[in-house]
Structure 1
Amino acid sequence: MNPSRGDFVYAPVLFGAYGVIRILDGLDGTRGPGFAWTAGHLCFLVGLFYFLRGFVAMRETAGRDGWSTAGLWTACVGAVAFVGQFGADLVTGFLAADHEAMSEMTSRFQDVPGFSLAFYSVGPILFFMGQLILAGRLVALRTLRWWAPVLVLACSLLPTVDKDLIPLGAVLLLVAYAPLYLGRGNYAASEARTARTRA
């Protein structure tokens, strides 16, 4: 499927849905396993799909130059890290009988040499770095406003302060990407050029 304007809405909304479900899941003092744990993680993984579609569209808008290509591939590597992390969480959620057993299984995953570094520490950072590069490139092309990368950066930092702030980060992304899903300015012109080329 080809990228669309809706990707810039679906991705942050699903990201935010994960954050809201995570908060609700923790109201009893523990998170997972169970329906909320699984639903939240699936929201995030589906959101990643729409994020990547959006990143492809951002690269197309930038003209497939070096910066946008680097941003896309950096984000893709980070997305793979997130898939590994959330995939492991889903597996432990399915197999574990309770939260304690799930935590023990997660520890076993993280004890695998390089797993924690690749999928929990360094890898996910690349997702946000790539996204920041793409946003910055579109600012240079005047497709996004100057403050869009600031909001993207804030979104990436909020979970390190408190993961309960993830829904706020999703709202920031919706604001940052408004010109893309509203089809304004240079992005609308780029879409028109792409449509004529495919025709």
Structure 2
Amino acid sequence: MSATPPATDGVIVGADGLARPVWAATDPLLRDYYDTEWGLPVTDERGVYERITLEAFQAGLSWATILRKRPAFRTAFDGFDPDLVAAYDDADVTRLLADPGIVRNRRKIEAAVTNARATLALRADGGLAELVWSFRPADTPRPRAFAEIPTSSAESAALARELRRRGFAFVGPTTMYALMEAIGIVDTHLVDSHRRGTSGVWPD
């Protein structure tokens, strides 16, 4: 397979014989993420909190940028332990703003702390993962081309509203739809992709 995939709105079959979307077809980091992680169910509090945080940091940037920085993010944010991040103070925000390994955006850093505190508050009412998964739709898209993949939905808009009501920040409908895709709540793998239907949540 050539280093630069041909222009297509569908899948590309790699040298390994597996069909993937263009965004996951060439970069080894993105390919591994697509093959082993993206779209698989995440149902634990820390995992959902981490992904909400990273989706917020991704806003306006490429996902590849965030994925490459994820190890540094995990170190900087104490493994995305909500109990630890919720206790961050101004000194921690200053520390994070000086960390070249992450995205140094004050509003996003402050949102990560705010959201950790909101995550702790949700424990009295079922928890973050349970709340997020309660917005699973009755059906999932079955796109054959990238252009057919939604960027938001009624459910992602409702989830965004509920999270904001619960004190979360940087949780708009588009960001929450990306979260729902990433953690398996919806399956937006292209129909011809080797990953379609592999989450165990949705049939292909």
Query: What TM-score do the two structures reach when normalised by structure 1?
Result: 0.32
> Hey, which of these two has a bigger chunk of helix by percent?
1
TM-score, structure 2 length as denominator?
Answer: 0.32
